[in-house]
Amino acid sequence: MANEREAAIQQLRDVGLRVTSPRLEVLQVLTASGHLDVEELTAAARERLGTLTSQAVYEMLRHFLDTGLVTKFERPGWPAVFELSGPPHQHALCVKCGRVENVVHEAPTPPRKGLKGWQVNDADVVFKGLCPDCRAA
């Protein structure tokens, strides 16, 4: 646990953010869980901090996004979820419950036709279907 805390402190310093207890807690919750929406993140961090508002978490996430510390994944029909930035990956999205999982899969090569004049730098693939829990239900 002490190593996780030190790693979180270093991550904040590396991107030029001031180290505060709420920032540390939110970062540690994301490290442990990933793919959390603002309300889930606020509730988990609040358990350990005592008080924390959703507005404060929104503000922290804005700073984390601006510095590249976290990424945001939009889920149509559900609140967006956040995760720590890391190696490139794709996502699987359960269309029934909104669960998100990382998928290590190379992004497709852009088609040569149909994007004339474009310089494509990246592509996102989202695998949509039912998660194991929803399939079993």
Question: Binding site residues for Zn(2+), as ranges?
Answer: 94, 97, 131, 134
Report the run of H or E that residue 72 belongs to, with start and end.
strand 70-75
Task: Give 122's contacts (C-beta < 8 A, 6+ positions apart).
Answer: 88, 107
Q: Report the DSSP pairing between strands 78-84 and 126-129.
A: unpaired
Q: What tokens does 80 get?
A: 């967006």
Residues in binding site: 94, 97, 131, 134
Q: What tokens does 102 get?
A: 């990382």
Distance of CA 44 to CAs 34, 60, 71, 107, Å?
12, 15, 19, 32
